[in-house]
């Protein structure tokens, strides 16, 4: 067993619901997550998704009656580039409304859930084109500032995943972006795979900490959560400085 596997077991291990592809219903989702070694779920909630038809109260109740907990809510309908207006005003408005709804749903969890805005859900990193960086940046900043007010009102953490192309390509820029929003409920979901395309994940971690609310990791094996992780050094560093944050696998 490599260093980092024991560490990984001590942290909050979370799996995105869309990654549990064998699950056909909520009990199946819970069972597959448990058998795969996870203790928390990230729910992707959207009408077209596998959980889209489930009523939120029923979904929360069914999972609450199991040994699992809900760590995060997200959606595959949009990403931070939608909030940056790359898809036009109607899509931007729909994204804001969706995040607001997720925040309200998460508030029913009494502080146990966060809402996560992904980086490349709709805009793959190798296909992102920003024609006007300042306009896109300002649109994203304004939307995040407005959503931050709702997050604070509801006492729900709101995290954005760091992209690997298009916007926020420096840990210093991302740190300043979060600091200018200046809201204790807004932070970063650090994706070390994304940062590795731009620099050293450990460097990003040290610059952004303590703004990091979660880590987004790739699940290398559906059947073995304890498979060797390429970011073992980052997980070890988290243990060294006593940072116990959710590890959200997808």
Query: What confidence tens digit (pLDDT) does each residue in 221-234 have?
Result: 554 455 556 677 77
Domain that holds residue 12: 5-249
Strands 212-217 and 247-249, sheet pairing: parallel
Report how many domains make up the chain: 1
Q: What would the mean pLDDT of 131-157 be, rounded to a whole number?
A: 97
Please check the confidence at residue 103 and state whether its pLDDT lies above 50. yes
51 secondary structure, DSSP code: T
Alpha helix ranges (H) inside the chain? 5-10, 26-35, 56-64, 80-83, 89-106, 133-154, 171-181, 192-196, 201-208, 232-240
The C-alpha angle with vertex 44 and arms to 38 and 45, in degrees rounded to 5, equals 135
Tens digits of per-residue pLDDT, 62-95? Answer: 898 998 999 999 999 999 999 999 999 999 999 9
Please check the confidence at residue 170 and state whether its pLDDT lies above 90. yes
**CATH number of residue 54's parent domain:** 3.20.20.150
């Amino acid at each position: 067993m490599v260093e980092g596997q024991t560490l990984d077991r001590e942290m909050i291990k979370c799996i995105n619901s869309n990654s549990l592809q064998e699950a056909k219903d909520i009990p199946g989702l819970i069972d597959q997550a448990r058998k795969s070694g996870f203790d928390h779920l990230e729910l992707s909630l959207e009408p077209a998704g596998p959980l889209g038809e489930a009523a939120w109260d029923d979904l929360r109740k069914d999972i609450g009656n199991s040994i699992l907990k809900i760590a995060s809510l997200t959606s595959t309908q949009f990403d931070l580039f939608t909030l940056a207006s790359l898809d036009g005003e109607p899509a931007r408005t729909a994204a804001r409304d969706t995040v607001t709804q997720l925040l309200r749903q998460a508030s029913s969890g009494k502080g146990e859930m966060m809402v996560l805005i992904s980086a490349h859900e709709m805009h793959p990193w190798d296909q992102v084109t920003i024609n006007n960086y300042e306009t896109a940046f300002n649109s994203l900043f304004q939307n995040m500032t407005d959503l931050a007010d709702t997050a604070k009102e509801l006492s729900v953490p709101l995290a954005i995943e760091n992209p690997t192309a298009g916007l926020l390509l420096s840990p210093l820029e991302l740190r300043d972006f979060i600091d200018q929003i200046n809201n204790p409920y807004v932070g970063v979901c650090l994706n070390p795979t994304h940062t590795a395309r731009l620099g050293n994940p450990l460097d990003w971690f040290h610059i952004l900490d303590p703004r990091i609310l979660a880590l987004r990791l790739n699940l290398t094996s559906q059947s073995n959560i304890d498979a060797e992780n390429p970011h073992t050094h980052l997980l070890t560093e988290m243990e060294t400085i006593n940072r116990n944050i959710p590890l959200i696998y997808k």
